[in-house]
Each structure stands twice: as C-alpha cells, then as structure tokens.
Amino acid sequence: MVMAGAWYLQGFAMFSVIEKATGRWIGRLGPWYPEGWPGTEVGWGLVRDCWGRGYATEGATAAMDWAFAELGWTEVIHSIAPDNHASQAVARKLGSRNRGPGRLPPPFEDSPVEIWGQTRADWSARPAAARGVSHARG
C-alpha cells in the first residue's frame, strides 16, 4: 500500500521486478523518497536467489536514467547497510560513491546506514556503456 500511495502523492515509486523467464515477482527497485528520507533515492531489494544476475544494476540504471530525465532529480542516493556488500557492489557499478553514515526517519532511525550517491552531472559524465545503457532485451 505504501508504494501505491507514493505513486498517487508523488507520481513515482519503486517498480515491481518480474522475472521474464518465470513470471515470478522477485522484488522491487526504483525511485523512492518517503517523508524524512535523507535524499531522492533509487533503491533495490530482490529475493536472495536472484542476486548476482545483474537485475539490480540493470534496473537501477534504467531507474536513474528516468529519475534524472523525467523527474528532474539533481542527485540520487542509495541507503545501504554497512554490511550489505552486495548492494555496495551495485552502487559502485552505478558509479555512486560512499558519502558516509546517514540517518533514516522512524521507524528506521536505529538502523545503521551509509549514504551512497551521485549527482546528475556525475551520471551524465559517464559514458553510456559505463551506465549500462541498452535496456532493450530481445
């Protein structure tokens, strides 16, 4: 219900990720900016058995393109737990850098988090190949 409310109130929210081969819902990713959040985020959360297949990187790349071009965002962050090395690797592939510790709003205020991110200028300066541009799949 939270995502539906965000679509209604803000005009954006995370997208469901459906595995093409199976039709199975495997998670969500995309733009996210709830009240009190430390910045405009493109985040991801996938079921563990689908990690390492490139879904988070490909989806986040498309979501960042969309957030910068269509939503007019000037920066994107990723809120990542300090021990979540898989998400840190995705953030690095996207060209984001660790900006240091952050703080999330209640009820997450006691969860340690690092803020990774980059500006629209940083994103635009990367060659298209480095951004993984080529979202089309045959």
CATH class of 2-125: alpha beta
Q: Say whether pTM exceeds 0.75.
A: yes
Domain boundaries, the chain: 2-125
Where residue 42 falls (left for φ over 0; alpha for ψ -120 to 50; beta otherwise) is beta
Q: What is the pLDDT of residues 25-84, one digit of tens each?
A: 999 999 999 889 999 999 999 999 999 999 999 999 999 999 999 999 999 999 999 999
The per-residue pLDDT for range 13-39, each reduced to its tens digit, is: 899 999 999 999 999 999 999 889 999
Pick from 82, 4, 10: nearest CA to 40: 10
